[in-house]
Structure 1
């Protein structure tokens, strides 16, 4: 993607490593040039207007600069839009589709794999030694010399989330006054002084409260969960949870015994009753709306500086309040 082929219309980045997919998308954006125009779309919007993608891909920039298109939250509902894109007589602007909930056997993956002008790339979160090497490389790019022990410490405090890792490494580089042209050693004491602490148990609890619409518990626990870290872990984990519910909701709406569908999605039997209760409250339309909204919330949070935590709390409480109305 660093040297995109002019004949490639679609890059489909699918799999659970959304941060990795976004990093690949950023490579294409850089290759397009600093003056390139990026058009942002999302899967639910394309489901409502499937022809829009092919139109945008064929549209020339008013200023003659390159254009590229990025689709967030791409799922099977985008099949028609992607088919129209690949069947169109012309499409000069490359499309990157981020599909974190899509599996290898999905129809849109097969579409991309079978097309001569599309690329499908599976993105899975790195683990073990691969993740350690990734962190060391990320640190090096920021001007930080580190070793496996320090990398593992960063992984532990970030929960292995690449988005959090990137933010923590940026903070550490600032703390140590490091840059690629003036590298500094990254050691445990700096990570202890600056690093995030992520209570995964509390994180998953607050996600449960948001999705269930338990306003009192969200108001009680959310500030503590995001007090020492960015709101990103909550926003991204909420997105994963809602994407899972959306997949189950879609299968149930298509027909079939709910119990069998829950088993197919590997919902633990003790959680099946609670999951069905959530699905009675969350229909496909509302799931799509919130999933599409979460990336925009995260961008606003990052752009809000010190007010980001308050903005995240307000938005997450609004989502919980919406779920509460359906109780």
Structure 2
């Protein structure tokens, strides 16, 4: 078995996977973390990530139509020699046969990095990579305290900065479960502290906002609390501000996943006790989220998650106008279901 434990992932990326491993599968509910880790692994294998001959990007749907293309790409010699990375982005169709064909081929100077979604344990792609000695299946779950502390120190170090322990702990407590949002906050802090040697607690308090209290939470809380009128109002506002529909749906999906994991972990507990265990939840949202936890059952949340996943995929395949219509109707459908459960 070549499944990697979540706690070992960062150490694996830092030291680099065994060069004999041909396929690296990254999967999980945190799409920002999946992308960030895939990018690091893809770029680390080649001398110039901006070289299109060294860094080849392929959509999963393309591979679903041509199962032999991935193996062909991995076996192709670069124009100027050297290592090549084949970066596969997730699609809506099953491209496991293409990965299977690549694992059966002889690959020497290429690395295949597969950026997938939240794969179930029985998913063909995950099963294939976990069983193959030539692949690694790397899970990407929301950051815990240790991972966040490592992310903070590593990102600031790349910007020539250290951070005081107290400041690091306060910063980690303010970050949410989305890797992309966390990185944005840390990089903003690094920019603010440029010219210093160390980031202090005053710097953290002056710059960082609570990611869990992001502006999109007004829309998300309205949907999962059953306030359809507020969903319509907030959606119109965010659309007018240029917000991408898939971003709004992605935020709703992460919230639904967190609601579900909190419900499952707190089985037998009251909603108020579960809220107390919700790491990074802004105090102003606690009453609203407590109501949501009491209202939504695990089966209902799984259905909402399925609706959101399908809507995100539809947005990728639709025009801008259709994407907004689809995203809006999905959030209103969730709000309707939440109101029915009142």
Q: Distance in 2 between the 1:17 and 1:217 partners?
A: 24
Aligned residues: 272
Q: Distance in 2 between the 1:15 and 1:232 partners?
A: 17
Q: Distance in 2 between the 1:273 and 1:156 partners?
A: 26
Q: Distance in 2 between the 1:206 and 1:56 partners?
A: 46
Q: What's the offset of the Cα at 1:177?
A: 1.7
Q: Deviations over 1:38-97 (max 9, x none)?
A: 122233333344333222222233343532111223688222221122223557421111
Whether contact under 8 Å (1:207, 1:237) holds in the other structure is no
Query: Counterpart in 1 of 2:220?
Result: 204
2:150 is the alignment partner of 1:146: no
Query: Counterpart in 2 of 1:220?
Result: 237
Q: Tell me, what secondary structure is at the counterpart of 1:112?
A: helix
Residues 188, 272 of structure 1: alpha-carbon distance in 2 compared, 3 angstrom cutoff: same
Please give the residue correspondences for 1:37-56 in structure 2 after superposition, counting only pairs within 5 Å.
Answer: 37-56=54-73
Q: Deviations over 1:184-236 (max 9, x none)?
A: 23233323433234425325247879xx9x6654122567898xxx9997474
Q: Deviations over 1:108-136 (max 9, x none)?
A: 22211222221222233331344334323
Query: Counterpart in 2 of 1:170?
Result: 187
Task: Give the alignment partner of residue 37 of structure 2, picking from 13, 20, 24.
Answer: 24
Query: Counterpart in 1 of 2:283?
Result: none
Task: Give the alignment partner of residue 290 of structure 1, picking from 288, 296, 315.
Answer: 315
Q: Distance in 1 between the 2:302 and 2:127 partners?
A: 34
Query: Counterpart in 1 of 2:48?
Result: 34
Task: Give the alignment partner of residue 71 of structure 1, picking from 88, 101, 114.
Answer: 88
Q: Tell me, what secondary structure is at the counterpart of 2:110?
A: coil
Whether contact under 8 Å (2:33, 2:178) holds in the other structure is no
Q: Provide the TM-score with structure 1 as the length reference.
A: 0.63
Q: What's the offset of the Cα at 1:241?
A: 7.8
Whether contact under 8 Å (1:57, 1:69) holds in the other structure is yes
Residues 324, 219 of structure 1: alpha-carbon distance in 2 compared, 3 angstrom cutoff: closer
Please give the residue correspondences for 1:176-255 in structure 2 after superposition, counting only pairs within 5 Å.
Answer: 176-178=193-195, 183-198=196-211, 199=213, 201-202=217-218, 204-205=220-221, 216-221=233-238, 234=248, 236-237=250-251
Q: Distance in 1 between the 2:66 and 2:238 partners?
A: 39
Residues 162, 135 of structure 1: alpha-carbon distance in 2 compared, 3 angstrom cutoff: same
Residues 86, 240 of structure 1: alpha-carbon distance in 2 compared, 3 angstrom cutoff: farther
Q: Distance in 1 between the 2:253 and 2:298 partners?
A: 22
Query: Counterpart in 2 of 1:93?
Result: 110
2:319 is the alignment partner of 1:319: no
Q: Distance in 1 between the 2:181 and 2:309 partners?
A: 30
Q: Tell me, what secondary structure is at the counterpart of 1:77?
A: coil
Whether contact under 8 Å (2:46, 2:55) holds in the other structure is no
2:58 is the alignment partner of 1:58: no
Q: Tell me, what secondary structure is at the counterpart of 2:94?
A: helix
Q: Provide the TM-score with structure 2 as the length reference.
A: 0.61
Q: Deviations over 1:125-180 (max 9, x none)?
A: 331344334323433332333234323433344424322222222222222224xx
Whether contact under 8 Å (1:17, 1:124) holds in the other structure is yes
Residues 44, 288 of structure 1: alpha-carbon distance in 2 compared, 3 angstrom cutoff: farther
Q: Distance in 1 between the 2:303 and 2:140 partners?
A: 27
Q: Distance in 2 between the 1:89 and 1:28 partners?
A: 19
Q: Distance in 2 between the 1:13 and 1:103 partners?
A: 13
Unpaired runs of 5+ in structure 1?
245-266, 294-313
Residues 135, 203 of structure 1: alpha-carbon distance in 2 compared, 3 angstrom cutoff: farther
Q: Distance in 2 between the 1:159 and 1:22 partners?
A: 17
Q: Distance in 2 between the 1:283 and 1:24 partners?
A: 21
